[in-house]
Amino acid sequence: MTKHKKLSEWVREWAEWCQASQVHWCDGSSEENQRLLDEMTASGMGVRLNESKRPNSYYFQSDPSDVARVEDRTFICTPTKEDAGPNNNWADPAEMKETLRGFYRGCMQGRTLYVIPFSMGPLGSNIAHIGVQLTDSPYVVVNMRIMTRMGQAVLDLLGEDGEFVPCMHSIGSPLQPGQKDARWPCAPIEKKYISHFSETREIWSYGSGYGGNALLGKKCLALRIASYMAKEQGWLAEHMLIMGITNPEGKKKYIAAAFPSACGKTNLAMLIPAMPGWKVETVGDDIAWMKFGPDGRLYAINPEAGFFGVAPFTSMETNPNAMLSMKENSIFTNVGLTPDGDVWWEGIGHDMPAGTINWKNQVHDPASGQPCSHANARFTAPARQCPVIDVDWENPAGVPISAMLFGGRRPSTVPLVHQAFDWNHGVFLGSIVGSEVTAAAIGLKAGVRRDPFAMLPFCGYNMADYFGHWIRIGEAARDKSQLPKIFYVNWFRKDENGKWLWPGYGDNIRVLEWIFNRCDETVGADSKAIGLLPKKEDINTTGIESVAPNLDQLLDVNKELWLAECESIAENYAKFGDRLPAEIKAQFEALKKRLAE
């Protein structure tokens, strides 16, 4: 338990308001975890997988209305709409709290209120922060145990008056006496709310039991609330992987990278290099918190303790390290369940066994044309099980970042790799990140969908102010030469026939080699209008000689295409009006001037 009076009072008030049947303070023990899993298995909510195939692992199916983050039900509650910005759904804080208090009243009848104390980041790290989540979902508890450092040790660290981010969550499905529970209880879509109160650093979530809507340490705290805290306190909370790269001479550097969805972020974090002598290790696959260290460098931690990854099309071919990370002690949601008690999904690398149950709890008919697994089906796996987890992944001091990468899925225009001229130019590159959207993408017109810094759904305040915060981070560095070098990569360039020009996957180490060497300035670069590009001969194509002729096209900077790109950038910037920082405007004008020369 705890001697923290403020925390105890907060728990008591919510337990009374929600009319919980009982309150359980989570200690994070394996005994507690097993009891909850056994209870969910007994109720029919969960299935224990075949012990010989997937030891200590469990399978769940969510309600069809509760399968992913619901961005249109996610709100940033700041004093003014302008503070939330055009990148967020805004709601008045007082009005939202009044609405949600009405929903929370009596919402835990017949259920247990679980108190989850958790640390985002290694316990005691000066980069880490503590949260406490209240929930009536045992599924949330067992997932939070994998995704965070959770339990009594966190309460001990909080002591009697330590700071924590209060996270309130309910699935919004009270049980009357004698009422049979749903397999996956949740509220209807119109009653789902994921609300963030930036100034008071609170998260209130109602109605959903799935993923980032319910595991409030993940996107809610680690990005939306943390990004606001970072702005106030002078650090960075980013949607970035962290990887360690060691060259054949034994020299090691750490790189952080931000990519929009479907751009190979997890694959890069766990890369198996195609060039001999190189080694890649994983610190984190999704989120990075960075603060300046005593030596003036930016140091990063992975605030999470697990991977909450998309299962479909993850395989031993595309990402063996992810597959090996989930071999045991893992949770699977909305994938297929095979007759022999294992999991299956599209792209796993072998045919679906006959009789497999799909995510809708039906024997799957391949002729139906429907997928067996939901496109957003997930695995939750402990990071410690990753075969290439970095030795310093839990170092409280973090790891020093030498380079930052941005990138998107662009079949043309953007070269394979280019480097920013300086920090502010790098911030500009982060601000124009985007991926090509085809006409087939539902609800989006064809063109470039901008996702600045890959933070569009996760920035907890006006993104124009966020750009300004990045500018100020550069200004705050006591030694500008210690700032990470910034690069933009694009593995997805195609030729005129729609064929990939670059092999990707393990061969991306060839681009990372150039980036690695640029950090030490042991390799040159050509100055172009958009940034610093590699010389063809500095991209190692030994072993992929057939790709070498593609380098002219891969490194091409077509001014006509870039002038059209500028029109798209201007259209996106227009959303931010006068709040767009002067430094970003200056970088944009400088680009247009260079293109005109």
Query: Looking at the annotation, which residues are catalytic?
Result: 263
Cite the DSSP H helix spans in 350-409. none
CB 128 within 8 A of CB 120: yes
- One-character DSSP codes across 522-533: -S--EEETTEEE
Let me know the angle formed at the C-alpha of 382 by 377 and 386, rounded to the nearest 5 degrees: 100
User: Strand, coil or helix: what is 259?
Assistant: coil
d(CA 534, CA 488): 12
SS (H, E, C) 279-339: EEEEEECCCEEEEECCCCCEEEECCCCEEEEECCCCCCCCCHHHHHHCCCCCEEECCEECC
The token duo for 565 is: 């790109």
Instruction: Answer positive or negative: Cα dihedral of 259, 265, 268, 269.
Output: positive
CB 493 within 8 A of CB 411: yes
d(CA 534, CA 511): 9
d(CA 448, CA 434): 6
* 549 C-beta neighbours (distance < 10 Å), count: 11
Q: Which residues, in sequence order, are bridge partners of residue 326? A: none
The token duo for 443 is: 């609800």
d(CA 231, CA 284): 22
* 34-53: burial string, b at 16+ Cβ within 10 Å, e else: eebbeebeeeebbbebeeee
The token duo for 528 is: 């172009």
> How many H-runs (helices) and E-runs (strands) does the chain carry?
16, 28
Find how far residue 405's CA is from the centre of its chain.
Answer: 15
The token duo for 226 is: 């943390």
Q: Please tell me the number of Cα atoms within 13 Å of 138 on its side-chain side.
A: 20
- Closest of 407, 424, 422, 408 to residue 532, by C-alpha: 422
